[in-house]
Amino acid sequence: MARRIVIIGANASGVDAASAARKKDRTAEITLVTQEKTAGYSRCGLPFVIGGHIAEFKDLVVYPPAFFQMQKLNLCLETKATAINTKDKTVTVQTKDGATEVLPYDSLVIATGADSFMPPIKGREKQGILSLRGIEDGERIDAAVKAGAKSAVIMGAGLIGLELGVGLMERGLKVTIVEMLPQILPQLLDADMAKLVQQHLEEKSMQILLNKSVEEFLGDDKVTAIKAGGEVIEADVFISAFGVRASTKLATDAGIPLGETRAIKTNSRMETEVKDVYAVGDCAEAPNIITHKPVCPQLGTVAVRMGKVGGANAAGDYSLFGGVLASAVTRLFEIEAGNTGLTETAAQRNRIEVVTGAISSKTRADYYPGATPIKVKLVVEKESQRIIGAQIVGGEEVTQRINCISFAIQKGMTIRELAKADTAYAPPLNETWEPMVLAAEMVLMKFR
């Protein structure tokens, strides 16, 4: 009898899980269940459709219907998984026409993702508070812009909040960012590096209000303003970008344990504590490579890697997930920012004694036209002298430098080894001295 694999969720981690399962088992019956109207699309691209860089939301579909047909995957759209019975090994689902079905499984992969988080703010039940998690959310925001909106308030200065803010400004809106913390991009950058990004955004006329908590949504039935830090801020569009929380209700209702992060607890095979049940993507936790503590970074790159491992194992393989550094990059107008490993702040929070060093340089030879500033900050564990983190902010070439240092961290490279790295140079492409090497020299000066 063919192996029956049910996957709840059909975006980044879910589709990659299905693809990996199919590669391992060519005869398995693989069913994907999703509440959404569209499967296999990139959530990360949503702000760039709103900003006009990508023509339509349908262009974000990475896996068209033909892919699911070719792979012999049974895709159930607009179908909600309502219960998991781990004893009987079944998933109860409700179709869009209201019918209830019971799907038996031999292996189950939970890829339910994450949901937008809304703090308990007075007036949050009012109409007109938007968020950006899926295509339909994006279409609502786009419709508000097309309807003549002139201003927007975005609550939260993380990656999605700022990318969406830039997108709305590119569509002609006046944008105000409200953040309760004293800096933007608190998960990505330390305060000194975040300040460089903030300055660039403010030069582009984005208004950024820090250290201000949203206290109330004002208006009758529909929100017309917010109260933050005692100040009333009016706008046409209000967007909640407070972050997301792992979608775990299905799992907890089924008795599947959560971990320290309140996401689903998994082992190195992405297996939960219930036999034959796996969890992948934004709803699942995994160990940080440096601290070895469980984390839930909720990044697309992590989701697809988790999905590949969990899906293969659900089909009978023995594949291991090596953990995460949570490497991430973004581009906001003409500035790029990236991080890998631990920030200085995160290291201190984990009680790791570190030495840091930073250098400001150029992306090309100083005399070559188009050279833009770049700043590299390295975080090094004091005892071992191993690199455990890097942040880079600059006009170009940030991504591959972040990737390079990610490789270095995973290979246990010391700061002395990086300082001796053999790097390439040409006037249109780089300075003679690679900025990462110069930053390593700055750290070594502190060790000396």
Catalytic residue numbers, as ranges: 44
Q: What is the DSSP letter of 322?
A: -
Is residue 91 within 8 Å of residue 102, measured between CB atoms? yes
Residue 189, token pair as written in the block: 């950058």
How far CA 303 is from CA of 40, 114, 129, 150, 279, in Å, comes to 13, 11, 28, 36, 10
Interatomic CA distance for residues 209 and 114, integer angstroms: 27
Residue 214, token pair as written in the block: 């949203």
SS3 track for 2-48: CCEEEEECCCHHHHHHHHHHHHHCCCCEEEEECCCCCCCECHHHHHH
Interatomic CA distance for residues 301 and 9, integer angstroms: 16
The pairs formed by 349-353 with CB atoms below 8 angstroms and a separation of 24 or more are 350/291, 350/293, 352/290, 352/291, 352/381, 352/388, 353/381, 353/382, 353/383
Interatomic CA distance for residues 14 and 323, integer angstroms: 18
Quickly list H helices, 218-341. Answer: 249-253, 300-314
Report the DSSP beta bridge partners of residue 391: 339, 377
| Torsion angle, alpha carbons of 36, 10, 87, 318, to 10 | -170
Quickly list H helices, 338-420. Answer: 344-349, 398-410, 415-419
